[in-house]
Structure 1
Amino acid sequence: MTTEWEFDGSTGKITARTWPVEAPRYLAVLVHGYGEHIGRYEYVAATLNRHGATVYGLDHMGHGKSEGERVLIDDYEAVVADVHHVVQRARADRPGLPLVLIGHSMGGMIAARYAQHHGAELAALVLSGPVIGSWEQVTSMLEMPEIPFVPINVATLSRDPEIGRIYAEDPLVWHGPFKRELIAALDRCLKAINAGPKLGSLPTLWVHGAADELVPLEPSRAGVETIRGENFTERVYGEARHEVFNETNKDEVLGDVTAFIDRVL
């Protein structure tokens, strides 16, 4: 049974969630993307549950049910610290089990930065459509006197139109403009990741949609190549859009994720 819980995060109360199984083989921590919330990952969590994982996740500061001005993040190191709190909670709940960190989009950036700080504590890292390397279509807005409001085209999320409809109607999703402070913090985080260190021997899986217009494939590839270690696997899905975990071939994608985890374990 899914449980919600709170902790004192870097900037206020953070809402987190646990999807437990009775006798887990491993632990998985999910890290969500910009403007969304961990409640959008029920299908991913259920798949990982069936695979033998107890799953954890959190709503980042200013996102979902967590406190803070909406989508205002001025330091991603604080977000990494919040993720670390969830990782420590998972380890306290189930000592000794291997732990896999899975980050999507902006969450992929956060997960990559987490791995640079705490990679030795992880069994594996999965990056889904990660904002990594560069994200010029967003960071270029810093040069403008005012940040323009460019609403997300929900059709870029998935070939499944139902995903876009649910996203557009979700009151916990942010539907407004980017905040300048967040873009500046994101730019600093990308540069920090690019500066290293590399991921060394940490088993890493990168999954990405070939038709991703929100976080284009090639800039993300350049970022992944900058930090990847020697134990690296990639899967690029033709025609798939940004949210590969919500795509029409999501079971193929999640099958690749669970097969990768099996190889690591």
Structure 2
Amino acid sequence: MLFFDGARGRMHYRRWPVEDALATAVLLPGIGQHSGHYHRFARTLTATDIELWALDTSGHGLSEGDPENPGTLAELVADALILVELARSSRPERPLLLMGHSLGAVTALGLLGAAVPDTATATDLRAVEGKFPVTPSVPAETLAGLVLSGVPKRALGGGTPGAPGTPLPRDLPILAVHGMEDRRAPIDAMKVWTGRHDWVSFLEYADAGHDLLHERVQARVAADIAEWMRGAVAGLARQR
């Protein structure tokens, strides 16, 4: 089993290795999930020559911590940054892709300094104690692409004039996937966000809720993500 020492205890992660991989992807799960829930998704990626690394968030899976209090966004970003650096250093010649689901997507945006609240609804960030990084921990130019799944509204304030944080660069390939029936993170906020970030590829899934990779549409979602990742690495990321 694979662990690293985080600021708040030992953190567990999984790796699905591919000998001659096209790229490495780092996945950050949401609340209530851990790396062990993603074996099926990993099989889809590895079948397309993409190696997957996935983190157990603090208090989840085999990571130490309190599952009821995974930490502030700054703490989540610090843990995720260690895994990103481990993945990068293991095969520095490979393109690196970052993916997050739900709170993991908030963390992924936080790594880029872009998980900021809508100024009209700033209290939505109480779940992460209202603290959010505004400068990147991971330079966007070091990533081949970013995949966001089921992003909560509280992290989607970026892209507006004068918004805090670091704007996402237009040359960073980004894919957003979202269930049209998502009640935990309603899709309307993502539609507004992708409207402000008009280079983002946006895929909506009918009859699907928040947890796309564990619903009936999971095979299609996984295949779409794998196809997009390969395109991003090849410089052919699909535009919406």
TM range (shorter): 0.7 to 0.9
How many angstroms does 1:223 deviate by? 4.3
Q: Counterpart in 1 of 2:186?
A: 216
Residue 196, structure 1, aligned to residue 165, structure 2? yes
Identity, in percent, stands at 33
Q: Which amino acid aligns with 2:179?
A: G
* Distance in structure 2 (CA, Å) of the matches to 1:224 and 1:74: 27
Distance (whole Å) between structure 2 residues aligned to residue 247 and residue 125 of structure 1: 22
Q: Give the letter aligned to residue 255 of structure 1.
A: A
Consecutive unaligned residues of structure 2, counting only runs of 5 or more, are 114-135, 234-240
The count of aligned residue pairs is: 205
After TM superposition, list the pairs within 5 Å mapping 1:107-186 onto structure 2.
107-116=104-113, 117=136, 118=138, 119-131=140-152, 133-134=153-154
Residues 195, 222 of structure 1: CA spacing in aligned structure 2 closer, same or farther, 3 A cutoff? farther
Alpha-carbon separation, structure 1, partners of 2:61 and 2:53: 15
Higher relative contact order (CA 8 A, sep 6+): 1
CA distance in 1, matches of 2:156, 2:7: 20
If the length of structure 1 is used for normalisation, what is the TM-score?
Answer: 0.72
Q: Which moved more, 1:59-68 or 1:114-123?
A: 114-123
Native 8 Å contact 1:63 1:71 kept in 2: no
Which protein is bigger by CA-based radius of gyration?
Answer: 1
Q: Following the alignment from structure 1 to structure 2, what is the Cα–Cα distance between the partners of residues 242 and 198?
A: 26
Q: State the SS of the aligned residue for 2:229.
A: helix
User: If each structure's helix is expressed as a fraction of its own residues, which one has the higher value?
Assistant: 1
Match of 1:20 in 2: 17
Q: Counterparts of 1:71 and 1:5 in 2: how far apart (Å)?
A: 23
Structure 1 unmatched runs, 5+: 135-188
AA in 2 matched with 1:231 = W
Aligned residue number for residue 63 of structure 1: 60
User: Cα RMSD over matched residues?
Assistant: 2.0
Contact kept in structure 2, 1:15 and 1:66, CA below 8 Å: yes
